[in-house]
Amino acid sequence: MFKIGMALTFAVIGAMIVLLAAIFGGARISTAFLRMFCTLLVTCAGVWIFLFILEARGVVDIDKKLRIIEDEEEAEVAEEAELTDEEFAVMAAEAEAEIKAEAAAVMAEEARAEGGAEAGEAAEGEEPEAQEPADEEGGFEPLAADDLQHMDTAEEEEETRAS
């Protein structure tokens, strides 16, 4: 329904522009209305086809309500209960809070492992309730300064060539 509405909106706008241009250009009224009608049909069809192609290629989802639920159990519950937008937003906020809590626990463990007394003490104050350890296969591994490839600027390159 949205595609048709958008196509008609653009078609009416285009038809009015063509009608005004024809009248101010000195064309007869019958010619102006014929041009307006042709513009209405062509623009309506063109916009509708354009939106249809965009939707078919997956660039946009116009006529569908799309809900992304990663957990299979949550997906089944959502399908059975047909959650409202507010309920779905609450579920998403709870999932996001769980992810943040797990990330804080991982950071606290890393700080303790590195032996950083200050970082460990600060993280202990913010440590969430008992969390399960993060999965090592898909875990996040921060970049170390030793692993990065450093590049010289043009000025540094000239200095090394001169010396």
Listed in sequence order, the residues at least 6 apart from 10 whose beta carbon sits closer than 8 Å to its beta carbon are 43, 44, 47
Q: Could you give the maximum distance between any two Cα atoms of the chain, in Å? A: 87
Q: pLDDT in tens for each of the 163 residues of the chain?
A: 778 888 999 999 999 999 999 999 988 989 999 999 999 999 999 999 998 888 888 777 666 654 444 566 666 666 656 656 677 778 788 888 888 888 888 888 888 877 754 544 555 555 555 555 555 566 677 777 666 666 667 777 777 777 7
Structure tokens at 64: 């569908």
Distance CA 110, CA 124 (A): 12
Predicted structure pTM score: 0.38
Q: Which of 113, 109, 108, 111 is nearest to 125 (CA)?
A: 108
- Residue where the block lists tokens 């024809």: 22
